[in-house]
A = this chain, B = another copy of it.
Amino acid sequence: MKIAIAQINPVIGDFEFNFSLIKSFADKAIRQDCDLVVFPELSITGYPPRDLLEKKDFIETNLSYLLRLVDEIRGIGVICGFVDKNTGYEGNPLYNSAVLFENGKILHKTNKRLLPTYDVFDESRYFEAGAQCAPYSYKDKKIGIAICEDAWNDNNSTDKKNYHLNPVGLMIKDGANLIINISASPFHMGKQQFRQNMFGAIARKYKVPFVFVNQIGGNDSVLFDGTSAVFDINGEIAALARDFEEDLIFYDTDRQSGSILKENMHPVSECSNEAVLKALIMGTRDYVNKCGFSKVVLGLSGGIDSALTAFIAAHAIGPENVFTVFMPSVYTSKENYEDTRKLAENIGTKFEIIPIDGVFAQFLKIVSPSFKENEPEVTEQNIQARIRGTILMALSNRENRILLSTGNKSELAVGYCTLYGDMNGGLAVISDIPKTIVYEIAHFINRNKEIIPANIIKKAPSAELKPDQTDQDDLPPYDLLDSILKGYIEELKGAKELIAQGFDAKTVKDIILRVDRNEYKRHQAAPGLKVTSKAFGYGRRYPLAQRYAQRDI
């Protein structure tokens, strides 16, 4: 049996578009003489549809498009994800389902049994867990269809298991000799290797081929990397799809293990920085386009964060669609004029200079008499950031451009940013990138040629909201800060654990308090593109009115 693995980028709620996409990939598979083509989880609706699932018309439309697919794709078997209704009298009203159809007939349906409900996932909010998962005999194979998480509870370690059953193991017990895992499995750094190890181990353990089909694309903060793959009965990769692009790969169940064809192995990123950069470019492009926009605007400060964001935007939607604005004040250094101009030239974006001093002086007149002294306090610093935010939103309004915010994860973590100021924007492009990795990616971009001016990478980071300010006046060195933040945010370690690891107690406590106390700012932040195992936003949900954050630690 020759199987086509269709790695597609559906748009949430655009049933007509998703229908055409599925149809066109099925047609390609037919032209390649395939017997079966497999599509990702919830391909018909896009994933994650979230509370659109609570709309009756959304569910009915999804079912009607499934029937159209069944009717219109002939001459090949199709496995595809959709939303089914729970017609029983108990439990959640929906199932996250897979269907196998061929020549106008639905041959088999199955429901997802393990419903991820952690981090960005809320599946128990909508779906009833499937009650069984019998394999289905199709052509010469007994196919076990696992829907994403269904393949994630098969470990041999003594670690705690998230769930009480192992659908893949159960299907093997029932005679499955081919596992097809239709997924919407998001990217984060290191996830690709983790998945390959895990799926390879499953194939090897049960001596069955394991087909993993993943979607690609960005849906708000959640980025799908693709890297769909087939693992042979030895757990070796027999076919591999590109990362962060649509792709179609093939696997013939009749061919011998070990005979890996070069043409089935498509190129993927060579390092983590390349993968992250691709993820951010794809995520920015998809956010802008799926929201119905084509152009963006952003502020350039002369610093590395806005430089990286501008580079990403230019590669996502074309430099001609990116408007970069430099908004100097009395505190802006001269080198930043030159650096931003050069950057805009290198990446080819439209560039404009709008000074803020006139507006700033007027604001100070009416609200901030304290400015008479030498050093502007936080109030005055925030006013500057908010003037810039208002200018950028005016340009966004005037020209129908999405405003991109440029803050990195380290700043956002400790609240080194102004709400309604530099946090303004429809998308926070690098809000999940720690500052140390911002530098790494900048070096990666410049690996062959200077694109981001060297001086932008070299100079000490500064908010330039008061005289001679640098980030390190207020923050510990970024490598130390990022190590502690990773422990606290991604690894959920407490103060005690971090101090026991060797970090300075005062620094640890200070950073934790800053993270906790700035939850209210992040609550109102734009969605950010998720590339670590724990990003701010949808997958991290803390109460604001609470006092655990204010405790003595």
Contacts and interface: CB of A to CB of B under 8 A. Distances in A.
Interface of A: 11-14, 17, 46, 48-52, 54-58, 89-93, 117-118, 122, 124-125, 158, 160-164, 218-220, 286-287, 290-292, 354-356, 358-359, 361-363, 365-368, 370, 378-379, 382-383, 386-387, 389-391, 393-395, 397-398, 419-420, 424, 426, 492, 494-496, 520, 523-527, 540-551
B89 A161 contact: yes
A291 B390 contact: no
Nearest to A288: B545
16 contacts: A52-B542, A52-B548, A56-B492, A91-B161, A91-B162, A91-B163, A91-B164, A92-B162, A219-B546, A356-B366, A363-B394, A367-B398, A386-B390, A390-B420, A523-B527, A524-B526
A147 to B, nearest CB: 18
Contact of A546 (B13, B57, B355): B13
B547 A12 contact: yes
A270 to B, nearest CB: 29
Contacts of A524: 524-526
Contact of A160 (B12, B89, B124, B523): B89
A465 B361 CA distance: 23
Contacts of A495: 57
A356 B61 CA distance: 50
A55 B547 contact: no
A354 to B, nearest CB: 5
A11 B160 CA distance: 32
B368 A398 contact: yes
Given A398-B379, A420-B424, A218 B545 contact: yes
Contacts of A122: 117, 122, 125, 541
A490 to B, nearest CB: 12
Contacts of A551: 13-14
Contacts of A89: 158, 160-161
A404 to B, nearest CB: 13
A354 B290 CA distance: 41
Contacts of A90: 160-164
Specify how many copies of this chain sit in the oligomer.
Answer: 2
A356 B470 CA distance: 32
A186 B118 CA distance: 23
A356 B365 CA distance: 11
A397 B363 CA distance: 14
A356 B13 CA distance: 43
A363 B390 contact: yes
Contact of A520 (B358, B387, B426): B426
A315 B471 CA distance: 42
A546 B12 contact: yes
Nearest to A387: B390
Nearest to A115: B124
A127 to B, nearest CB: 10
Given A219-B543, A291-B545, A359-B366, 11 more contacts: A49-B546, A54-B492, A56-B492, A89-B158, A91-B161, A122-B541, A367-B394, A379-B397, A382-B394, A386-B393, A390-B420
A93 B161 CA distance: 10
Contact of A382 (B48, B52, B162, B397): B397
**Most-contacted residue by chain B among A397, A541, A548 (CB, 10 A):** A548
A378 B58 CA distance: 32
Contact of A543 (B52, B368, B426): B52
Nearest to A87: B160
A49 B12 contact: no
A14 B546 CA distance: 7
Contacts of A378: 397
B358 A365 contact: yes
Contacts of A50: 541-543
A1 B17 CA distance: 66
A194 B383 CA distance: 48
Contacts of A286: 545
Contacts of A125: 117-118, 122, 124
A509 B374 CA distance: 56
A220 B542 CA distance: 10
A379 B396 CA distance: 9
Nearest to A369: B398
Nearest to A92: B162
